[in-house]
Chains A and B, each alone.
Chain A
Amino acid sequence: MKLRLLKEWNGKHPGNTGVFLSEYGEQMIKDGIAELLDEDFVVEDMPKKEEVKQEPVYIPIPIPAKYFQNDEEENITKQKK
């Protein structure tokens, strides 16, 4: 569980936060040493590296009109010849 210190504890200042085992944390709350922030909290928020995604670059390539001609049609025409 995640707690925030209300009083100085083990040399740590009031306002500091941290993760404690639940039994111990509950006792700290009862003793008025800390307040509960999140009962189910286990892992700190880690500093995450920002990922930079590059936008795709489209480059127009000139293509001859012949490229779009249907290949099957072309073959049939050739066979007929």
Chain B
Amino acid sequence: MATTGIINGTLMRLYKDSTAIGYATSCQMNVSAAMREILTKDSAAGGWREVKKGQLSGTLSTEALYAGPGDASTNYLFDDLFTDLVAGTALTIKFTTDVVGDNVYTMSAICTSLDLNAGVEENVSYSASFEVTGAIVKTTKA
């Protein structure tokens, strides 16, 4: 049964294929439509800008705590993303709560940046950014 009311953000997370991106503290998906200007001398808009939808695009980003090779986890971690970024691998990413009836956003994305932060007496953390290539498909988890 689909989640009722406002969804708790903790439950919605990014999965590479079907494996969670580990120790995430936040995840974002951005979808945007570029606008193309269609104002011409023949337009009746009186000099006001007129636009129509152009290219659609999407980006993903996540912030997470860092765990190295010693971590006994099967989750997708910084080192996996590092390998993907260097190789330019397109990853199949799902953004979902994994609850039946809730939405699943599925897309192919390439990791474009990784920022690893290590402050004194702080958790080592990182942020990762992804550029979506192709369409973002919205389905309902059956």
Query: Given that A17-B73, A17-B74, A21-B96 are contacting pairs, would A43 and B10 also be in contact in the complex, using a CB cutoff of 8 Å?
Result: yes
Known: A3-B74, A16-B74, A47-B123. A42 touches B22 (CB 8 A): no
Residues of A within 8 A of B13 (CB): 19, 42-43
What residues on A are CB-neighbors of B86 within 8 Å? none
* A50 CB → nearest B CB, Å: 12
The reply on B72 being an interface residue by CB < 8 A is yes
Task: Work out how many contacts link A and B, with CB atoms closer than 8 A.
Answer: 59
- Per the CB 8 Å criterion, the residue count for chain B at the interface is 21
| Residue positions of B touching A, CB distance < 8 A | 10-11, 13, 15, 17-20, 22-23, 25, 65, 72-75, 94, 96-98, 123
- Residues in A lying within 8 Å of B, measured CB to CB: 1, 3, 5, 9-10, 12-13, 15-25, 42-44, 46-47
Top 6 nearest A-B pairs by Cβ distance?
A18-B74, A24-B18, A19-B20, A21-B18, A18-B75, A12-B74
